[in-house]
Structure 1
């Protein structure tokens, strides 16, 4: 009888051990993602995102945030938009909604800027309208709870102002501004001018500094900037 009980309980014990191992591995994979982000290594961030997503039933949205950040480093705004959309669906509200929402809004904006640069004004306008709706659906805490959601409300308001202006004249994005991006924001579309290398743009340096600070505040656990549409800061709120 005792052997039979042990036999039937073995799968339960095994599952419990696997869950414990997964939980213990999350900070490790988060640290790998943060380190790869510091090095502007899109492949490293993407690999860490894949590992974060394996049987992650606790906070599955974090894998999509990291995957979106890898896309940001590749300037693949459409893929980043899909990843951040999925992350927002999985985050389930609360204070973590705010930085994920910032990433999504700004990746949509950057994709719209990209389409504007390709002469696809109607498609760009549709994306700007979509980003406006995402801002409008933001929880009130994103704007009022500065302790739990620092900078998120300001970033969303700034994005909303830019989006309104771009919807008015989508074929001529506003001139470059000098924002102070937080660790959760995209920059804009392609341009014939060369993209500054990592570490040369002051906004990129500030983003990296904010990421280092965020990594200390969370469990361990950006991009190149474009000179044509630099008014939209880059996404990458570290939540993994």
Structure 2
């Protein structure tokens, strides 16, 4: 659904120079000229001067309803973007980049994500080393970029990358979730289009009904006046 606003731009005498079709972002997508301008500098200058002086008249918002459908290219780009994030992150809690900013926390809420990188965190270095060794035997690999191991008195930390087989399983689930979210987004969008179209149709039908009623009343009044005059004429 694309929402457009039509704006009449007028000259100093009140004549319409052009009608601009503006999208929901405020960008002019079309100009329909009604008359030639004689302003020095041409049409663009005339329109700019008219807007500066407030010589504009807003039309009602018009909605061009386009029902969205699943676009395979768009869906794949969403999957690819999510997989790229998956490849670069650890499994655990991270900022939810799709959530609204929380001013009182000065951050976004955190959400648990699955990542291709696993963090091995143990108080005992020997326990951490043993766990990593077991994971390496299962096909994990040391993480060589972005995350560095640290060995301190109170905590030992290693990072390992999941084997390709486990990553493939994760990516399959991620792709399914992205597709479900994408379809839900489209459904919500289309439902909004339906609601706006229904409201527009109600208003249109109400206008037509009001117009027909006014015409009927005017016709009835004219016929009544005609009968009255005929009666007066007959009474003479």
Q: TM-score range by the shorter chain?
A: under 0.3
TM-score, L = length of structure 2 = 0.26
Structure 1 or 2: larger helix share?
Answer: 1
Higher relative contact order (CA 8 A, sep 6+): 1
- Greater strand fraction, Structure 1 or Structure 2: 2
Larger radius of gyration: 2
